[in-house]
Amino acid sequence: RNEAGTAGQIMLQELMTEDLSKHLVSLLRLAMNPRAGRHWSNCQTWLALLRGVAADEPGVQQKLAIDLDAFARALSANYPTPPGDEATSRSLVTEVLNFLGRERLSSFYPSYAHGDWLDTVIDSALKHLLDCSLNSIDWCST
């Protein structure tokens, strides 16, 4: 990948440091990688922070783990191959946004709460996902 390039209105180097991008990539790795142990731990940690779940709430932590597992399985089933068109890419990113919660993202990350920065990041992430996926036959090659 050419990190000096752009995806939409954002330089790739900047896009990959955005929290939304990191969460999207982590969830895709969890859902699409058969050996996703470290991705599971990573996703569970930041999802707990995003949802305000404390480590000393085992019942809530368990529900979060069940939700994360169900989401990852559904994402894998719904998108067995990388998106080959903009509509599929948009659908995938929308599913991730719905799971994360747009309002939660805006509340947790101040840069997403003002102006249209979150929309700019979303559009750039969509473009980059599609660009990476177009010539890929499976998720491992994306």
pLDDT, tens digit (0-9, with 9 covering 90-100), for 79-124: 999 999 999 999 999 999 999 999 999 999 999 999 999 999 999 9
Q: Is residue 135 part of a domain?
A: yes
How many domains does the structure of the chain reveal?
1
In a domain, 1, yes or no: no
Mean of the pLDDT values across residues 26-46?
A: 91
- Displacement of CA 110 from its chain's centroid (Å): 18
> Residue 2 pLDDT more than 70?
no
The dihedral built from the CA positions of residue 94, 38, 40 and 100, taken in this order, carries a sign that is: negative
Q: Does 30 map to a domain?
A: yes
Strand partners, 7: 10
As a three-state string, the secondary structure of 34-47 is CCCHHHHHHHHHHH
130 inside domain: yes
Note down the domain range covering 123. Answer: 6-141
Whether the CA torsion 47, 49, 42, 67 is positive or negative: it is: negative
- Cα separation of 135 and 142, whole Å? 8
Mean pLDDT of the chain, nearest integer: 92
